[in-house]
Amino acid sequence: MMEMDYLKESLLREYGGEAEEILAGLSCRRRTTLRVNTLKADRGRVEEELRAAGLSSSPVQGLADALVLPSGSESAVRKLGAYENGEIYLQSLSSMLPPLFLGAEAGEDVLDMAAAPGGKTSQLAQLTGGHAFITACEINHIRAERMKSNLKKLGCGRVNVIERDARKLDDFLRFDRILLDAPCSGSGTLDLTDEGSCKAFSEKLVHNSARLQKELIRKAVRLLKPGGTLLYSTCSLLREENAESAGEMKKLGLLPDPITLEGVEGLRLLDGGLPGSVTVCPNEFFEGFFMARYKKAP
């Protein structure tokens, strides 16, 4: 209870009158959403299979490969052939945003620094047609194994998985683009109506995550090629993990590369306190989420 008071007080302090809308978004039932894996299937084929299974789905303007289903459809989706074959991946709409805005291209060296279970890694492979040189780093053995199995199922054969603390990656490595989808408190994904979903959240977790996030950012800046792009994201709404952690990139000399997120249906943005960054308000469609993009001078 104390931890939830801390969350509510922080949101009120940071977002003022918008805190109520955020709390409502953290208490509503989110729709089931998935990404069509275009490395293996096209949307039309998947929509046909969903229809045949009695599942209604609708596309999302601005997110070409996303489909939205009624809440609670996950178990029905897991029974589909398309799921078994890796033609679709259950993924929140918010978590589809960072790979889109990293802007990776075929032929580039790309690092996904905290990557398991591989949702964004596989989306990066999809967006580059399987032609980028992707390294996916993950500290946790069980999660790394799960990512390997997901990547295999989704047909992302050329991804190099490294099981390591990303802070200890070799300093001679260099990447054109780095996605740091950082470990965080998950405050933007909580379901306030479900005690179980809030059990892991704590003020201590927020402070510890913020410390780790800054260490990971420092490493990412070292591994970035001149002219390279670093996209930092969290599924938290708290400024200590967002604007404050992301501020580390500027302190280290990176240049802000503002993100404009126009035309994505159902998206409601908040003022996260860092110009050029994006803070997504949780609602029926989107989880609470944060992104900031920076570039290294050429």
- Check residue 95 for interaction with ligand SAM (CB under 6 A): yes
- Check residue 162 for interaction with ligand SAM (CB under 6 A): no
Amino acid at 273: G
C-alpha 153/C-alpha 117 separation (Å) is 12
Q: Which is nearer to ligand SAM, 104 or 114 (CB)?
A: 114
Phi/psi of residue 241, each to 5°? -95, -15
19, 111, 137, 249: residue in contact with ligand SAM (rule CB under 6 A) = 137
- Check residue 146 for interaction with ligand SAM (CB under 6 A): no
Q: Which is nearer to ligand SAM, 19 or 132 (CB)?
A: 132
Nearest to 140 by CA among 105, 183, 171, 91: 183
Residue number with the smallest Cβ distance to ligand SAM: 114
8, 143, 268, 295: residue in contact with ligand SAM (rule CB under 6 A) = 143
Nearest to 73 by CA among 31, 10, 11: 31
31, 35, 120, 148: residue in contact with ligand SAM (rule CB under 6 A) = 120
Q: How far is the CB of 169 from ligand SAM (least distance, A)?
A: 8
Stretch that binds ligand SAM, among 25-33, 103-111, 132-140, 192-200 (CB under 6 A): 132-140
Stretch that binds ligand SAM, among 102-110, 125-133, 161-169, 238-246 (CB under 6 A): 161-169
Task: Report helix, strand or coil for 256.
Answer: strand
Contact 278, 248 (CB under 8 A): no
C-alpha 9/C-alpha 7 separation (Å) is 6
Name the catalytic one among 156, 184, 198, 235. 235
Cα diameter, the chain: 54
Is 235 catalytic? The answer is yes
Determine what percent of the chain falls in helix, strand and coil, rounding each to the nearest 5: 35, 20, 40
- Check residue 282 for interaction with ligand SAM (CB under 6 A): no
Quickly tell me which residue has 């500027």 as its tokens. Answer: 250
Q: Which is nearer to ligand SAM, 25 or 188 (CB)?
A: 188
- Check residue 220 for interaction with ligand SAM (CB under 6 A): no
Nearest to 126 by CA among 102, 92, 145: 102
- Touching ligand SAM, residues 99-118 (CB under 6 A): 114-118
Outline where DSSP puts E strands in the chain: 32-36, 58-60, 63-69, 88-90, 109-112, 133-138, 160-163, 175-181, 224-234, 255-256, 269-270, 278-280, 289-295
- Touching ligand SAM, residues 172-211 (CB under 6 A): 181, 183
Q: How far is the CB of 15 from ligand SAM (least distance, A)?
A: 22
Q: Which is nearer to ligand SAM, 116 or 267 (CB)?
A: 116
Q: Which is nearer to ligand SAM, 112 or 176 (CB)?
A: 112
Tell me how far CA of residue 280 lies from CA of 29, 104, 250, 286, in angstroms: 17, 22, 22, 7
Mask 66-85, x = binds ligand SAM (CB under 6 A)?
--------------------
Question: Would you please indicate which residues are annotated as catalytic (active-site) residues?
Answer: 235
* Residues of the shown chain interacting with ligand SAM in the complex, contacts defined by CB under 6 A: 95, 114-120, 137-140, 143, 165-167, 181, 183
